[in-house]
């Protein structure tokens, strides 16, 4: 083989390698690959070639979007930059929902707007077999409107974990053996909404929305869903070889456990588990730990 032929062969292999490398880094997806607008398409704008979106809330409307498919177990992650400045009375929500009426499963991130200078609060909630009212609230330890941060839900047969960046802020264990409901049978879609909720969102509704600050803008990018799509292969959800079912994801590791305790000690402002006015008897799932 001549040097020219060798050189051509090398260039061909290198170009193939480069192309493969580019295709492998194709995730995160563009918005329209995985999602559709469900509410007020005039208030959701695609930017950066569809790799990011802007959500708009004004006096005319909020907006929302949903995944095109539903999933049974996996990981959902998005980078979100929340509303800057005076966002009191607004709620930016990112959640999974089985979209069933009475016996629904749901995993919620809800970002509660604030008055300028006050910390942003993130509320998490879980519905399992139709039973919800499991709210916890954490004040974020950074300004989530200054830059994008990653918000993630991991859901497998062992537990559900809510992450802010790489910090776990909520863990809900599978304790079916103790007759505690756990979302397991219903696939869930991925949803997000931006809406007015000034009857409860900020200081229990004491702080009302200031429409002179409108429009309120939130930004999303790096949409990443990895899970078992439904409909899809029937054995996917029960496959122990799915990466999210692996040993590393069945419980918090030592570093995550330290971070989790740090959040609960320093930034948690409400936990339904300790609310004796609502729950004179501590709910059984609250005794499970992490």
* Cα–Cα distance measured from residue 289 to residue 171, given in angstroms and rounded to the nearest whole number: 8
pLDDT in tens, 53-89: 999 999 999 999 999 999 999 999 999 999 999 999 9
Please state the domain extents for the chain: 31-285
Is 256 a residue of the active site?
no
Q: Choosing from 106, 196, 245, 285, which is the catalytic residue?
A: 106
CATH architecture of the region 31-285: Sandwich (2.60)
Whole-model pTM?
0.88
| pLDDT tens digit at each of 290 positions of the chain | 554 444 454 444 444 443 333 323 335 578 999 999 999 999 999 999 999 999 999 999 999 999 999 999 999 999 999 999 999 999 999 999 999 888 999 999 999 999 887 899 999 999 999 999 999 999 999 999 999 999 999 999 999 999 999 999 999 999 999 999 999 999 999 999 999 988 777 777 778 899 999 999 999 999 999 999 999 998 999 999 999 999 999 999 999 999 999 999 999 999 999 999 999 999 999 987 76
Per the annotation, the verdict on 106 as an active-site residue is: yes
For residues 237-267, one letter each, b for 16 or more C-beta atoms within 10 angstroms of the residue's C-beta and e for the rest, the string is beeeebebbeeebeebeeebeebbeebbeeb
């Amino acid at each position: 083989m001549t040097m020219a032929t060798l050189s051509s062969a090398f260039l061909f292999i290198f170009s193939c390698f480069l192309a493969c490398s580019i295709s492998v880094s194709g995730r995160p997806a563009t918005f329209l690959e995985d999602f559709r607008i469900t509410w007020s398409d005039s208030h959701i704008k695609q930017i950066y070639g569809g790799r990011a979106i802007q959500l708009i809330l004004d006096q005319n409307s909020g907006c929302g979007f949903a995944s095109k498919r539903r999933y049974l177990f996996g990981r959902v992650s998005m980078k979100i930059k929340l509303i800057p400045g005076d966002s009191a009375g607004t709620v930016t929500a990112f959640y999974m929902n089985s979209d069933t009426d009475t016996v629904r499963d749901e995993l919620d991130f809800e970002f509660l707007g604030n008055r300028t200078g006050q910390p942003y609060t993130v509320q998490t909630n879980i519905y399992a077999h139709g039973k919800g009212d499991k709210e916890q609230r954490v004040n974020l330890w950074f300004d989530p409107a200054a830059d994008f941060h990653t918000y993630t839900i991991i859901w497998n047969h062992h537990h559900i974990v809510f992450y802010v960046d790489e910090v776990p802020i909520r863990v809900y264990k599978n304790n079916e053996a103790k007759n505690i409901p756990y979302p397991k049978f219903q696939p869930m879609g991925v949803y997000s909404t931006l809406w007015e909720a000034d009857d409860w969102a900020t200081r229990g509704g004491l702080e009302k929305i200031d429409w002179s600050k409108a429009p309120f803008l939130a930004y999303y990018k790096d949409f990443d869903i990895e899970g078992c799509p439904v409909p899809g292969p029937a054995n996917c959800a029960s496959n122990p070889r799915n990466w999210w079912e692996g040993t590393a994801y069945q419980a918090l590791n030592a570093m995550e456990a330290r971070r989790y305790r740090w959040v609960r000690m320093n930034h948690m402002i409400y936990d339904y588990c300790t609310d004796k006015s609502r729950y004179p008897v501590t709910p059984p799932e609250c005794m499970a730990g992490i």
